[in-house]
Chain A
Amino acid sequence: DIQLTQSPSFLSASVGDRVTITCRASQGISSYLAWYQQKPGKAPKLLIYAASTLQSGVPSRFSGSGSGTEFTLTISSLQPEDFATYYCQQLGTFGGGTKVEIK
């Protein structure tokens, strides 16, 4: 089974900061990678699919890149509503999550 390792598992940042989250796969997965945002008590929300395609309606400050075994989710300028937990997913596996909190 493919393992997805997210780093960091927790990060503290300020409004306006540029934030990067990494997802590493245990073996090459081409571009089969999606990113989700989850806020407390809510269902996950799709942000990016196919590693770099922004889901309709998602702000352009979110971007994704990578292929093979290393992928990144970048928030160019963190907004108050972006404080949440982020997950990567490839086929039948989710990463462990990255919680983004206010510094």
Chain B
Amino acid sequence: EVQLVQSGAEVKKPGESLKISCKGSGYSFTSYWIGWVRQMPGKGLEWMGIIYPGDSDTRYSPSFQGQVTISADKSISTAYLQWSSLKASDTAMYYCARRVAAQEVDYFDYWGQGTLVTVSS
């Protein structure tokens, strides 16, 4: 069974750093892209970026380039999303998802349960 299990909720202060995780199981972790999606409170979904754990090829949405870092450790089937200096506006639910990409198809078929990040002084 394919599963993506994310790390638990975080409460941080502005300016602090943070790294959240997404552990894949039940499939070949190095053969699928992993994406990160932000959902601010009461708002829609925003595509942040993707990583291919097989070779760490990473792509970012222009909106998130330079704001976050996506990485992966294929030895432990885990992808990460990190911030070096959090802002209050980073308060959101963050989802990881497995991306299927091929000719004429591109979608997220399995999703993690989400990690709630709260940034408040």
**Residue positions of A touching B, CB distance < 8 A:** 1, 30-32, 34, 36, 38, 43-46, 49-50, 53, 55, 87, 89-97
Which A-B residue pairs are the 6 nearest by beta carbons? Answer: A34-B107, A43-B111, A49-B107, A94-B45, A97-B44, A92-B47
Question: Quick one: closest A residue to B4, CB to CB?
Answer: A43
Is B76 an interface position by the 8 A CB rule? Answer: no
One of A34, A43, A87, A92 near B44 (C-beta < 8 A): A87
B residues 65-121 in Cβ contact with A at 8 Å = 95, 97, 100, 104-109, 111-114
Question: How many A-B contacts are there with CB distance less than 8 Å?
Answer: 58
- Residues of B contacting A43 with CB < 8 Å? 95, 97, 111-114
Q: Are A49 and B105 in contact (CB under 8 A)?
A: yes
- Residues of A contacting B45 with CB < 8 Å? 36, 38, 44, 87, 89, 94, 97
Chain B 32-67: CB-based contact to A (< 8 A → 1; otherwise 0): 000001000000111100000000000101100000
One of B61, B97, B109, B111 near A55 (C-beta < 8 A): B109
Residue of B62, B107, B111, B113 contacting most chain A CB atoms (<10 Å): B107
Distance in angstroms between the alpha carbons of A39 and B106 in the assembled complex:
22
Distance in angstroms between the alpha carbons of A23 and B79 in the assembled complex:
31
